[in-house]
Every structure is written in C-alpha cells, then in structure tokens.
A = this chain, B = another copy of it.
Amino acid sequence: MDNSKNLNIIALDAMGGDYGPEVTVPAAVEATEKKDLAVILVGEKKLIDRELSKFSPLETSLLSVVPAQGVVTENESPALAYRTKPRASVYVAAGIVKAGKASGFVSMGSTGASIAASTVLYGTMDGIERGAIGGPVIGYSPRTVIVDLGTNVDTRPEQLLDFGALGSIMSRVIYKEKNPKIALLSVGKEKGKGSSLVKETSVLLENSGLNFVGNIEPDDLLKNEFEVVLCDGFVGNIILKFTESLGKIICSQINEILGETDISKTLTASIF
C-alpha cells in the first residue's frame, strides 16, 4: 500500500497576529486537514502545547513544534529586534526555511519583522537592494501587482526601479504574464506631473529595459490593464487600507439600506 503524499511543509509563526496560539494552532489544524500541508508551529512551546492538547492525536498528526523565545511586536524596530531577540518566533520560522526543512514560512505578526527576517537570512537577489511587499489588492484588477504595499515608507527612485523588476517577476511567475506592463502611479499621466520621486523614477524606468509603459492616475488602478503598478510604500499602504475600509463601509451601507436580502448579498459579495 502506498500512502506517500506530496506534502508541502510550512513553518508558521504561531505567536503572530492579535491572538497568538489560540487562533494560529486551530487554524494550522484546519489547514493540514483541508490542504496537502504539514505545519511546523514555531513559538512558546508551553502555549502551543496547551492549544494542541485540545485536539485529538490524529488531528494534530501533521503538526510539529519548534520552540522559540519571544515575539517581535508591531511597535518594535525589526532590525533592532533581530539583534536583541534572535530566537523570536518569526526569526526561528524563517530559519527553518533557510535550513531546508520547510518550503515557506507564514506570519501574521509584524510585517517589518518578516521582511527583516527574510532579508537577513536569505539575502536579496543580485542587484536588488531591498525587498518589498507586493500583490494584487484591488478586486477590480485581480492581476495588477501593486508594489510597494508598505515595506518601505520612504522609498528612493533606485528602490522603485528594483520593485519594478520584482513586480515583473511576480507577475511572470504567479500570474503567468509573458511581458508584464509596468506603470508608475502618479497624479497625472503627463511627464511633468508628479512628485520628485515619480519624476526621477520614470527616467530610471525608461532607461531600464523593463516594459515600462508610463505614468498612470489612480483611476487606472481599477482598469486591470497594467500588470505591475509602482508606488512608494507609504502611498501603497494607504491605498491598501483605504480600499479595504471603503469596501467595508459601502457594504454595510448597502446592508443598511436593503436589509440582509439576497440582493444585498449579491451586491456586497461582488464589491468586497
């Protein structure tokens, strides 16, 4: 009998998020039941074990625990935290991937700490100075990768150029785009418009060999026409959070006006 299975192993920062093991452990159990996954729970062993004990041995059979000490909180400097508590859960989780024991790590904790852990432990690609967080965050444009979504709140033109290359790779690998169009978010399509960051970056992009198609305006974010849209991390994070809150408020307004009807369900599902 062949019971071999093609399992992906994920290291999970069990201490991350607002509730820690109380939420991450049941979530991990569910994940191993629904997906072809095994999960390595990383964090304070006592807390994790307490949550694990609430499940049957069979339910937790694809879960293991790697102890870690401490958590990096949202208010800490990730770079400093790496020096003062290198055994914190997010760093240990990242290290498990580096050691080849897992194919990826997941954390709902401090974003900065995840980025710092990845950068320090894995390094960056040749010619790329810093990492960035990017992805499609607007429902109307499901293939538009926006970078940076908040990693670097003070972004320099050279970094945005790097993010263009990273976004392009993400679009090719994940969304199978052959030749992703890269656009730069500005307050007007005209070359003369925009902040000095936009002006300097567009010169770099024009001379980069990347498939740069020019500056776009906010309404272009909703057209699903561009595979990569570049902006500094402050702007990207504002767009990410603002879109989310606007979607929520519009949906609750629809529910308020229509009540919880089939129509309101169709509408809110299509909007959010």
Interface on A for B, CB 8 Å cutoff? 74-75, 77, 140, 150, 153-154, 185, 187-188, 190, 192-196, 198, 217-219, 221-222, 233-235, 237-239, 241-246, 248-250, 253-254, 257-258, 263, 266-267, 270-271
- Are B245 and A271 in touch, CB under 8 angstroms? no
**Chain B residues within 8 Å of A154, by CB:** 195-196
**Chain B residues within 8 Å of A218, by CB:** 238, 241-242, 245
- Are A253 and B234 in touch, CB under 8 angstroms? no
Q: Quick one: which of B188, B192, B246 contacts A246, CB cutoff 8 A?
A: B246
- Apart from A153-B194, A194-B234, list 17 A-B contacts with CB within 8 A: A74-B188, A75-B190, A153-B195, A154-B195, A187-B234, A187-B237, A217-B241, A218-B242, A218-B245, A219-B241, A219-B244, A222-B246, A238-B238, A239-B242, A243-B246, A263-B263, A267-B267
Number of copies: 2
A interface secondary structure, majority: helix
Max count, chain B CB within 10 A of own CB: residue among A193, A239, A246, A257? A246
* Minimum C-beta distance from A244 to chain B (A): 8
* Minimum C-beta distance from A160 to chain B (A): 14
Query: What separation, in Å, do the CA atoms of A196 and B221 have in the docked complex?
Result: 26
Considering only CB atoms, which chain B residue lies closest to A234 in the complex? B195
- Are A140 and B249 in touch, CB under 8 angstroms? yes
Given A74-B188, A187-B241, A241-B187, A250–B271 Cβ distance below 8 Å?
Answer: yes
